[in-house]
Structure 1
Amino acid sequence: MVDSALSRPGQRERYDSKLAQVDWLFVGLLCALTGIGIIMLYSVGGMTWGGPGWAYKQLIFFSVCLVMMCGLSLLDLRVWLMGAYWFYGASLLLLIAVEAVGAVRMGAQRWLSIGGFTFQPSEFMKLAIVLALARFYHECSAKDANLSWKLLIPAAMIGVPATLVMHQPDLGTAVLISLTGASVMILAGLNWKIIAAAAASAPVAVFLAFQYALHDYQKKRILTFLNPEGDPSGDGYHILQSKIAMGSGGLLGKGLGLGSQSQLNFLPEKHTDFIMAAVCEELGFAGGFTIFLLYALIILMALRMASLSHSHFGRLAAAGATATFALYVLINGAMVMGMFPVVGVPMPLVSYGGSAMLMVMTGFGVVLGVKVHRYQELPRQASIFSRFE
């Protein structure tokens, strides 16, 4: 009934029709997941809205981002397409600005301060790389996307910002940008021979990066990941305390506000990187399983929305934004369980933080926008690189 109504001339452009096409079940899942995160921030913040105020601030962050996401879902896909390269270019310039005038905190130069507002430009690049690659492949032929010298262009688009972020240094974000870019390339139809060659050469690349590219503290994190018991009160402290917290929760947990590791501050970064350890301690396996079930449903629904798009740009943009979200979950989940080095990647929508939430919700605004405008055909304009053909 709705689809037939949308076939009438001009009907799809009406805002009430667009709002009806928003997947409100998906929005509800995002609210439920963030709600659990706010409850946990309330707990680890001392069971009060005062004190550090993590829960209250997160609620404000999410409320603003939720309205923004719903607004972005109504945005025409042509706006995203035309702005993709501009967004990427602006994000790249901000990363370069970080190298020149970025603020240094905790030994890392990752932040810019403009008019009293401090932010991490690397957060913008996580979405910018998705949109830029989606536009590039939208303008590419299937043959070029499969195997061509032109693949050096998206490789450079990924490599340059990843190198700048690595230099800050921010290993976690550099890995996230690289894996997100690689995901879009694979989804666009990358030849399996290139994928196999990259997988085969990965151990050598990791070894060379470890020897010559990583900072000493980053090398120490990797060695600690391999043997956290070797320095339980030093570099291995984070991982060991996380494992203790997760293991002590049992099936149903100790209860909100009753987690010894989180409430007594044995668990480091309990409101950001290691909040899942606090979840498992206070809500047990049941709480952790519920959160990961919500993540799985959100990812599957987002991928389905991506598959509905009639445009190549829409499919890749939505799938790439979903891949970024999934990589957040995978890396953070593995990190708190001691299966991946500590790299400072938060658990999306559950960990405290406005910058990460802003980019995640903007990405989901793109996903919902692709679903709302799924019938929109975007012409494959000639690429700026077509002159070399």
Structure 2
Amino acid sequence: MEKSAISKTKQFLFSIFSGFDRQLGLILLALAAIGFFTFLSASQNTPVHFQDELRNLMLSFMVMWIVSRIPPKWLETAAVWIYVIGITLLVAVAIFGLIKKGARRWINLGIVIQPSELMKIATPLMLAWYFHKREGVQKAWDYGVAAIILGIPVFLIARQPDLGTALLVFAAGMYVIILAGLPWKWILPFIAIGTFGIILIIIFGNTICANDVTWPLIHAYQKHRVCTLLDPSSDPLGKGFHTIQSMIAIGSGGFFGKGWFQGTQSHLEFIPEKHTDFVFAVFSEEFGLLGNLILLGLFFALIKRGLAISASAPNLFTRLLGGSVTLIFFTYAFVNIGMVSGLLPVVGVPLPFISYGGTALVTLGFGAGILMSIHRHRRLVQS
């Protein structure tokens, strides 16, 4: 009787996880476990509880499981509708969205949602659909059309204002455009301009910041973030507080860390947003350089496995979509760790599967589900 029950349990679990990529699943499980245990420490003296994070993780897993069952062909068919719905919601946010902390980013549809999160998936989905339809007859002007498809959501999100999410959506879309074959002769001038701009900011940034010169095309708070990056000590109790305290936390962790629940910077309330955007500082203080190496290794394995799944995908749509989703995971991790370490300006970008969050975790689960779907249906999709 016991053997029969065990056999039925195995069959049930096999039916649930059939088609899952084991390597990817184990990596995601490890990241989620690290995130949950870090949250237990980081959430001390905050209004959120472990049940909230557990619910978010379970919801993210459910979304991943559901999406993994959806054939990529269905996603291709729905791509335009998902994109149009996302743009419609962004327009609705601009007209009658909810304002929190000076930004209009949310809308109440019975539940409060942030439509810009949807565009992290909808935009590369739409671009992958477009280039797949143009495969074999692609012209130079197709990249202009792709720029418009990408530019509309980026503009609507940036004016909320939400520069962090706008940059992530832009990156997700650009990955598709580049993977679709954007010529290097068009990419290199932008790289050169960007590099030149960074050099100018490094050389003259402190002088401009000290003289309180207005910067064109950016909001005042965005300028302050760049100035704080250049010299956090210029406003140690204001704009530079986040960066200074997170850097102290990372450095004080040493090689082995102070131990779980033993981080002084986080538990003495020196790290703001410690369970969300700055959770990496909490993790670094408690688990040290050794913990960071393990975490970075897991992210490297996630990106490597995602690219391997994308490379073996059967058609252009799935290759472009899988590659973009994988590289957006990289962008999340790179930007978050960079800003917490004081190497990049502070923007609202969570650490994948580690930071507390609802909508962001669901979006990440959706992306992971896409990779699972591509792997599961790779022999069924015709190229």
With the length of structure 1 as denominator, give the TM-score of the two structures.
0.87
Work out the CA distance in 2 between the residues paired with 1:369 and 1:88: 19
Work out the CA distance in 2 between the residues paired with 1:118 and 1:154: 30
In the alignment, is the contact (CA less than 8 A) between 1:18 and 1:372 conserved in 2?
Answer: no
**Per the alignment, do residues 285 and 190 of structure 1 end up closer, same or farther by CA in structure 2, a change over 3 Å counting?**
same
Match of 2:241 among 229, 237, 241: 237
Give me the CA root mean square deviation.
2.1
Work out the CA distance in 2 between the residues paired with 1:64 and 1:17: 19
% identical equivalent positions: 36
In the alignment, is the contact (CA less than 8 A) between 2:154 and 2:167 conserved in 1?
Answer: yes
Alignment gaps of 5+ in structure 2: 1-13, 202-213
Aligned residue pair count? 358
Work out the CA distance in 2 between the residues paired with 1:169 and 1:193: 32
Match of 1:340 among 335, 344, 350: 344
**Per the alignment, do residues 53 and 217 of structure 1 end up closer, same or farther by CA in structure 2, a change over 3 Å counting?**
closer
| Aligned residue in 1 for 2:53 | 58
Whichever residue aligns with residue 166 of structure 2, its letter is A
Q: Which moved more, 1:24-33 or 1:80-89?
A: 24-33
Runs of at least 4 residues off by over 4 Å: 16-19, 203-208
Work out the CA distance in 2 between the residues paired with 1:164 and 1:196: 27
In the alignment, is the contact (CA less than 8 A) between 1:180 and 1:323 conserved in 2?
Answer: yes
**Per the alignment, do residues 142 and 323 of structure 1 end up closer, same or farther by CA in structure 2, a change over 3 Å counting?**
farther
Question: Does the alignment pair 1:100 with 2:95?
Answer: yes
- Cα shift at 1:179: 1.4
Question: Does the alignment pair 1:82 with 2:80?
Answer: no
Work out the CA distance in 2 between the residues paired with 1:155 and 1:304: 27
In the alignment, is the contact (CA less than 8 A) between 2:73 and 2:381 conserved in 1?
Answer: no
Question: Does the alignment pair 1:211 with 2:215?
Answer: yes
Work out the CA distance in 2 between the residues paired with 1:78 and 1:205: 42
Work out the CA distance in 2 between the residues paired with 1:231 and 1:254: 28
Work out the CA distance in 2 between the residues paired with 1:203 and 1:298: 29
| Aligned residue in 1 for 2:33 | 35
In the alignment, is the contact (CA less than 8 A) between 2:262 and 2:286 conserved in 1?
Answer: yes
Cα deviations by residue, 1:263-315 (Å, 9 ceiling, x for unpaired): 01100100000000000001111112111111111111111111111111111
In the alignment, is the contact (CA less than 8 A) between 1:95 and 1:121 conserved in 2?
Answer: yes
Q: Which structure has the higher relative contact order (CA within 8 Å, separation 6+)?
A: 2
Cα deviations by residue, 1:65-87 (Å, 9 ceiling, x for unpaired): 21331222121111100001110
Cα deviations by residue, 1:154-194 (Å, 9 ceiling, x for unpaired): 10111111111110111111111111111111111111111
- Cα shift at 1:52: 3.0
- Cα shift at 1:142: 4.9
Whichever residue aligns with residue 190 of structure 1, its letter is L
| Aligned residue in 1 for 2:120 | 126
Question: Does the alignment pair 1:361 with 2:365?
Answer: yes
Whichever residue aligns with residue 179 of structure 2, its letter is L
Whichever residue aligns with residue 66 of structure 2, its letter is G
Cα deviations by residue, 1:14-50 (Å, 9 ceiling, x for unpaired): xx79953321231121111111111111112239xxx
SS in 1 for 2:191: helix
- Cα shift at 1:204: 7.2
- Cα shift at 1:197: 2.0
| Aligned residue in 1 for 2:107 | 112
With the length of structure 2 as denominator, give the TM-score of the two structures.
0.89
In the alignment, is the contact (CA less than 8 A) between 2:43 and 2:274 conserved in 1?
Answer: no
Work out the CA distance in 2 between the residues paired with 1:17 and 1:235: 51
Q: Which moved more, 1:66-75 or 1:249-258?
A: 66-75
